[in-house]
A and B are shown apart, each in its own frame.
Chain A
Amino acid sequence: MTPITATPAFEQVLSVKAVQASTSELVPASLSDTAPWLYSALSQLHDLQRAGRDVPEVGDLRIAETASTQIRTILSLISVRTLPTPILYPISGGGVGMKWSVGNREVEFTTFASGNTIAAELENAQLVDDCEFAENSKAQTDLNSYLGWLVNAR
Chain B
Amino acid sequence: MPYEDDVALHGEVEILRVLVNSSWCAQKDDGAERPSSAAFVDSSNEASCFILAETDLDLIATRFPGKKIGIVTVAAARDAGFIVARDPGGGAGVPGHVVLVQRRAAPESKGHVRLARQLASSGRVAPLPEPRRDVPNGVP
Mark A residues whose CB is within 8 Å of B: 55-61, 64, 67, 87, 89-95, 97, 99, 108, 110, 112-114, 116, 118, 120, 124-125, 127, 130-132
User: Do A57 and B23 form a contact, CB below 8 Å, given A92-B43, A118-B109, A125-B121?
Assistant: no
Q: How far is the CB of B116 from chain A (nearest CB, A)?
A: 9
- Asked whether, in the complex, the Cβ of B38 is within 8 Å of the Cβ of A97, the reply is yes
- The residue that B91 contacts in the complex, of A56, A67, A93, A108, with Cβ under 8 A, is A56
Smallest Cβ-Cβ distance to B112: which chain A residue: A118
- The residue that A112 contacts in the complex, of B23, B24, B43, with Cβ under 8 A, is B43
- The residue that A56 contacts in the complex, of B22, B44, B48, with Cβ under 8 A, is B48
Number of residues from B at the complex interface, CB < 8 A: 38
Q: How far is the CB of B114 from chain A (nearest CB, A)?
A: 7
- Asked whether, in the complex, the Cβ of B20 is within 8 Å of the Cβ of A55, the reply is yes
User: Do A57 and B63 form a contact, CB below 8 Å, given A91-B42, A93-B43, A93-B44?
Assistant: yes
Residues on A with beta carbons closer than 8 Å to the beta carbon of B43: 64, 67, 91-95, 112-114
A-B contacts, 29 of them at CB < 8 A, read: A56-B48, A57-B63, A57-B64, A57-B94, A58-B18, A58-B20, A61-B20, A91-B38, A91-B41, A91-B42, A92-B41, A92-B44, A92-B47, A93-B43, A93-B45, A94-B43, A97-B23, A99-B23, A110-B37, A110-B113, A112-B43, A112-B107, A112-B108, A116-B108, A118-B109, A118-B110, A124-B29, A125-B26, A130-B114
B33 at the interface (CB under 8 A from A): no
Interface of A (DSSP majority class): strand
Interface of B (DSSP majority class): mixed
Mark B residues whose CB is within 8 Å of A: 17-18, 20-24, 26, 28-29, 37-38, 41-48, 50, 60, 63-64, 90-92, 94, 97, 107-110, 112-114, 117, 121
Residues on A with beta carbons closer than 8 Å to the beta carbon of B45: 93
- Asked whether, in the complex, the Cβ of A60 is within 8 Å of the Cβ of B44, the reply is yes
Residues on A with beta carbons closer than 8 Å to the beta carbon of B91: 56-57
Q: How far is the CB of A120 from chain B (nearest CB, A)?
A: 7
Residues on B with beta carbons closer than 8 Å to the beta carbon of A125: 26, 28-29, 121
Residues on A with beta carbons closer than 8 Å to the beta carbon of B121: 125
Smallest Cβ-Cβ distance to A98: which chain B residue: B23
Residues on A with beta carbons closer than 8 Å to the beta carbon of B24: 89
